Amino acid sequence: MKMSVIGTGYLGATHAACMAELGHEVVGVDVDENKINQLADGVVPFHEPGLPEILRRNLDTGRLSFSTDYADAAGAHVHFIGVGTPQERGSYAADLKYVHAAVDTLVPLLEGEHLIVGKSTVPVGTAEELQERVDALAGPGTTVEIVWNPEFLRESHGVEDTIHPDRIVVGLRAGSAAEPILREVYAAQLAEDIPFLVMDLATAELVKVAANAFLATKISFINAVAEVCEASGGDVTRLADAIGHDDRIGRKFLGAGLGFGGGCLPKDIRAFMARAGELGADQALSFLREVDSINMRQRDRMVHFAKEDLGGSVMGRRVTVLGAAFKANSDDVRDSPALNIAGQLSLAGAAVSVYDPQAMGNARRVFPTLDYADSLDEALAGAELVILATEWPQFREMDPVGCGQLVAVKRIIDGRNVLDVDAWQAAGWSIRALGRSL
């Protein structure tokens, strides 16, 4: 099937390459010339395991191409919208300017019957509003239908989550005839018996934000309990293991520590609250304010711990922050807890050295004044305090004996609860972790 994917960021580029991998003929369109040139050359402009191979393979077959010209999308009849919906400046709401720009540019170029399949995370009601917008823009004799098909991919698992998703959710307006087309798009997944859930537009839009709000709530729940564990001498990791055995609860997303960041969870819970407020249901989601503030508090608590460990002030002290990405196996630093604490410590006067296996380039662009080390060893050299802030395997697997020979003082805070405490203590380290009394 011929299709276009508008927006080639983490979501769109992955979706475009994976659709081609499944046998479709796909053109990816973006206004960012630099990004398009890289993708067309077989270079993924961000770190996503497995994607470079799929990108190159499908460019070679000719099934996948990239363009900055929307006219190249007009030959397809199915168009995915995968542009960003960032938090609006000065408010909690989602900014829809990229979604609007995408349809405003695409629709006047279309002739005949087309389907626009929204994948971006949007406030409930957007699809209906977009339908009115495209109806006004479509030329005579052209029909363009908006459907919503939220994307649940996790960065760093994008390929797997696109090719073998847990479920496919499709929102359609009453009387829509689009379902068979979407079944053809996802024929490979349907052959695997992946649940295909058809619903109205509003519900499909809400499914995505509700899923992210639930995940965020789960993380903040365990981080709130972590604070009580610290106050009472408990251990949040053992607690999470124990409650996680109950399959109504489950152990996933009960990793206590520095909390969630990235381009999705923080802005999605805020946009969900903002939209509920517009709809007159603000009380319903007021708990998400608390979820947000518990999450942000973990960053402040970490900075407080660092100060406490260094005798009350970090001024002039050498602190190593391991990690800049918002999570492991990603180079994304958007709203990254790791970069946030590195920045706070630096602003408080610490000499902060940061190392991340993949996110150094992005981190430098966002926070150019920090000191970036070229390697883990260089980052550790002379440190008076080490903070593990992103759960990269390279940091989880550090050898406490070897690391002990590099630092000035063997003192570490595990911000992700991933280190083997006994091994680090046995090697002479003083180790502290969020949510545990060690």
Q: 389 with 342: CB under 8 angstroms?
A: yes
CB closer to ligand UDX, 46 vs 372: 46
Q: 201 with 148: CB under 8 angstroms?
A: yes
Binding-site member from 54, 99, 153, 201 for ligand UDX (CB under 6 A): 153
Q: 157 with 164: CB under 8 angstroms?
A: no
Contacts of 53 (CB under 8 A, 6+ apart): none
* CB 410, min distance to ligand UDX, A: 26
Binding-site member from 98, 305, 326, 392 for ligand UDX (CB under 6 A): 326
User: Is 359 one of the binding residues for ligand UDX (CB under 6 A)?
Assistant: no
Site string for ligand UDX, 154-183 (x = CB under 6 A): xx----------------------------
User: Is 317 one of the binding residues for ligand UDX (CB under 6 A)?
Assistant: no
User: Is 255 one of the binding residues for ligand UDX (CB under 6 A)?
Assistant: yes
* CB 25, min distance to ligand UDX, A: 26
Tokens 């809400």 map to which residue?
Answer: 206
CB closer to ligand UDX, 248 vs 252: 252
Q: What is the identity of the amino acid at 99?
A: V
CB closer to ligand UDX, 161 vs 371: 161
Q: Which of 316, 320, 309, 317 is nearest to 377 (CA)?
A: 320
Binding-site member from 270, 307, 327, 436 for ligand UDX (CB under 6 A): 327
* CB 164, min distance to ligand UDX, A: 14
3-state helix, strand, coil in the chain (%, to 5): 45, 15, 40
Distance (Å, whole) CA 262 – CA 31: 23
Within 360-399, the residues that bind ligand UDX by CB under 6 A are none
Q: Which of 22, 19, 38 is nearest to 80 (CA)?
A: 19
Q: What is the CA radius of gyration of the chain?
A: 23
User: Is 356 one of the binding residues for ligand UDX (CB under 6 A)?
Assistant: no
Q: In 3-state terms, what secondary structure has residue 401?
A: helix
User: Is 212 one of the binding residues for ligand UDX (CB under 6 A)?
Assistant: yes
* CB 389, min distance to ligand UDX, A: 10
User: Is 148 one of the binding residues for ligand UDX (CB under 6 A)?
Assistant: no
Distance (Å, whole) CA 88 – CA 91: 6
Within 403-432, the residues that bind ligand UDX by CB under 6 A are none
> Which one of the spans 171-179, 229-237, 261-269, 367-375 is the region binding ligand UDX (CB under 6 A)?
261-269
Contacts of 312 (CB under 8 A, 6+ apart): none
User: Is 82 one of the binding residues for ligand UDX (CB under 6 A)?
Assistant: no
Distance of CA 322 to CAs 396, 417, 433, Å?
10, 13, 14
Distance (Å, whole) CA 149 – CA 173: 12
User: Is 264 one of the binding residues for ligand UDX (CB under 6 A)?
Assistant: yes
Q: 398 with 406: CB under 8 angstroms?
A: no
Tokens 């018996």 map to which residue?
Answer: 193
Pairing of strands 385-388, 411-414: parallel
403 carries an active-site annotation: no
User: Is 260 one of the binding residues for ligand UDX (CB under 6 A)?
Assistant: yes
Pairing of strands 78-81, 318-322: unpaired
User: Is 28 one of the binding residues for ligand UDX (CB under 6 A)?
Assistant: no
CB closer to ligand UDX, 25 vs 268: 268
User: Is 204 one of the binding residues for ligand UDX (CB under 6 A)?
Assistant: no
Pairing of strands 351-355, 168-172: unpaired
User: Is 259 one of the binding residues for ligand UDX (CB under 6 A)?
Assistant: yes
User: Is 257 one of the binding residues for ligand UDX (CB under 6 A)?
Assistant: yes
* CB 323, min distance to ligand UDX, A: 10
Whose CB is nearest to ligand UDX? 255
Contacts with ligand UDX, residue ranges (CB under 6 A): 151-155, 212, 215, 219, 253-255, 257, 259-262, 264-265, 326-327
* Catalytic residue set: 264
